Amino acid sequence: MAQLQPKLIIHGGAGSSLKGKGGADAVRQSLYAVIAAVYPLLEAGGSAKEAVVRGCQLLEDDPRFNAGTGSVIQSDGQIRMSAALMDGTHQRFSGVINTMRVKNPIDLAAFLQESDDRVLSDVGAAELVRALQIPPYDPLTELRLQEWIQARQNNFAPGAAGVVAEQELAGRGTIGVVALDSAGRLAAGTSTGGKGFERIGRVSDAAMPAGTYATVHAAISCTGIGEDIIDECFAARVVVRVTDGMSLHAAFEKSFREAGDRHRDFGAIGIDATGAIAWGKTSDVLLAAYYDGTQIGDTLDLPPGLISSSR
């Protein structure tokens, strides 16, 4: 089989402001560093699934983003994280929901790819961490702690000044990676600390097919308000449209128009089997970057009204 040019797109959240993340340049640097570390794996013949896992690990390790280290804190002062991996070739989804005290939730999702029980929640995920002898890890950062303390003083009312401004973006944050490898295989992964300040037991879209989905035709990862993504069943919706013959760009365009009409607030990235790369948003800002083998680009400066595009 002829070798394809691999494609890669990643995201670090969606929302209404870049304020608390140090501005567009700092975010761009973080995203481009991940592209620079992951794309060579694809060039060397690595699988889309391996590239997605590596990309998610790196984004989880960057405290700038709301996943792994730097995850936001929930209403009870705890951090609970969710992650999913979907291998398009086998159309196989795996994930963990509300896992705690682990450095890279995506590693658990990757392990579960080969398991009979492929989605585990809190207690089950904790048991898996123990069984795999993964050392306990505290993903809390000083910034997230200060955000939480300040919001708590304000009885969790949105819009408090100072560091809480960052909550605007962090609360819709997620990280995600979508890849097409040189053998034509697609995969998608998503990881998140959730919305922040949410009720105990709230379940994110990230570890549902609404937020992460892939088949042999297309692979999608979403970011933004999880409830909105779930209501649109967005990742699966786009993939089904591509499977039924729509181009990736047209599927993004139509699906985001529908989401916009319903006043949803999120973004998404995707790649199809032809190598088309697409991104879209109803949020003002989508923090995504991509590399098609020739050109690196990002979505950081897209105007708020622009809902979808591709290359």
Q: Catalytic residues, which ones?
A: 174
Q: Is 179 helix (H, G, I), strand (E, B) or coil?
A: strand
Q: How many residues bind ligand GLY (CB under 6 A)?
A: 11
Q: Name the token pair of 213.
A: 């989905």
Nearer to ligand GLY, 43 or 122 (CB): 122
Contact 226, 204 (CB under 8 A): yes
Q: For tokens 């682990």, what's the residue?
A: 102
Q: Cα 7 vs. chain centroid, distance in angstroms?
A: 17
Nearer to ligand GLY, 42 or 108 (CB): 108
Q: For tokens 């999913």, what's the residue?
A: 84
Please list every residue from 281 through 300 that binds ligand GLY, using CB under 6 A.
none
The verdict on 174 binding ligand GLY (CB under 6 A) reads yes
Nearer to ligand GLY, 48 or 170 (CB): 170
Contact mark string toward ligand GLY, 230..269, x via CB under 6 A:
----------------------------------------
SS3 content of the chain, % helix, strand, coil (to 5): 35, 25, 40
**b/e map 218-243, b = 16+ CB within 10 Å:** bbbbbbbbbbbbbebbbbbbbbbbbe
Contact mark string toward ligand GLY, 181..220, x via CB under 6 A:
-----------x-xx--------xxx--------------
First to last CA, the chain: 24
Q: Which residue from 55, 139, 224, 267 is in contact with ligand GLY, where contact means CB under 6 A?
A: 224
Q: Which residue from 70, 95, 184, 226 is in contact with ligand GLY, where contact means CB under 6 A?
A: 226
Contact 223, 172 (CB under 8 A): yes
| Cβ at position 166, least distance to ligand GLY in Å | 16
| Cβ at position 269, least distance to ligand GLY in Å | 13
DSSP β-bridge partners for residue 283: none
**Distance separating alpha carbons of residues 143 and 302, to the nearest angstrom:** 27
| Cβ at position 95, least distance to ligand GLY in Å | 12
Nearer to ligand GLY, 104 or 174 (CB): 174
Q: For tokens 């979403």, what's the residue?
A: 222
**Cα diameter, the chain:** 61
| Cβ at position 24, least distance to ligand GLY in Å | 21
By Cβ distance, which residue is nearest to ligand GLY?
226
Chain residues that interact with ligand GLY, rule: CB under 6 A: 174, 192, 194-195, 204-206, 223-226
